[in-house]
Structure formats: structure tokens, C-alpha cells
């Protein structure tokens, strides 16, 4: 069964253009938490939340500042990650990203295989 991810801005429900959609899907594979990431070409901002920050958050170009302000207001007292200042990286990938993704999504065979 095929799956399609639907990304929406947390503040206006806007959806990304096709190239930004692909880069958001790619950004999901990056093994990190508590980090901001630019997602180009649409200049979306993604916050890799997880853990005590909840689920990942997405904002379109018009609402980047709103996302940062929201995260700092709600999570600023429990973690330093939300206080990171721009510029934010375009990629958080490292050498183990693809290896970890393949290992985590490998289809398991039968019993004990």
C-alpha cells in the first residue's frame, strides 16, 4: 500500500509546492530531535520536535516567526533547543541517516528471519 504524506502549515493550513513537499519528506528521514531546519525552495521551517517537544511542527514562509514564537512560549522553560537562533541549516543529515532509515523500515520476513 502506498502512502502519501500531507504537510500543512500549523498556522494557515497552506500546503507546500511539489519540490518543497519532496524536501519535507526527505527531512522526515533525518534522525534528530529539538532542531530547526529550513526546507527549500518554499522557505518552510520544520522543527524536529519528538520527545518532550511533541510531534514535528511545520510552518510556511509567512509563518516562520509565528512557529518560533509559539515553540518558545510553550517549551522555552523546559529545553534550550527552541532558543536556537537563525540561520537554520538546510540539512541535518549525517553519515548514519540512510543506514538508520533502511534498518528501521526493513520489512521483516517470517519467524526469526
What pLDDT shows up at residue 100?
59
Low-confidence stretches of the chain (pLDDT < 70) are: 94-113
| pLDDT number for residue 75 | 94
Tens of pLDDT along 75-105? 999 989 999 999 988 888 766 656 655 666 6
pLDDT of residue 104: 63
Compute the distance between CA of residue 31 and CA of residue 18 in angstroms, rounded to an integer: 23
User: Phi-psi category of 34—alpha, beta or left, where left has phi over 0 and alpha has psi -120 to 50?
Assistant: left
Q: What is the pLDDT of residue 51?
A: 86
What is the reported pLDDT for 67? 97
Neighbouring-strand partners of residue 37: 46
73: left (phi over 0), alpha (psi -120 to 50) or beta: alpha
**pLDDT for the residue 113:** 47
Mean pLDDT, the chain, integer: 87
DSSP letter for 92, please. -
Domain parsing of the chain, residue ranges? 18-91
Amino acid at each position: 500500500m502506498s502512502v502519501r504524506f500531507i504537510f500543512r502549515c500549523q498556522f494557515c493550513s497552506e500546503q507546500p509546492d511539489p519540490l518543497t513537499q519532496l524536501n519535507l519528506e526527505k527531512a522526515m528521514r533525518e534522525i534528530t530531535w529539538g532542531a530547526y531546519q529550513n526546507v527549500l525552495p518554499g522557505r518552510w521551517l520544520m522543527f524536529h520536535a519528538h520527545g518532550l517537544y511533541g510531534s514535528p511542527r511545520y510552518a510556511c514562509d509567512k509563518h516562520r516567526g509565528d512557529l518560533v514564537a509559539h515553540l518558545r512560549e510553550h517549551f522555552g522553560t523546559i529545553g534550550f533547543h527552541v532558543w536556537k537562533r537563525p540561520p537554520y541549516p538546510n540539512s541535518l543529515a549525517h553519515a548514519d541517516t540512510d543506514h538508520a532509515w533502511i534498518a528501521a523500515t526493513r520489512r521483516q520476513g517470517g519467524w526469526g528471519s
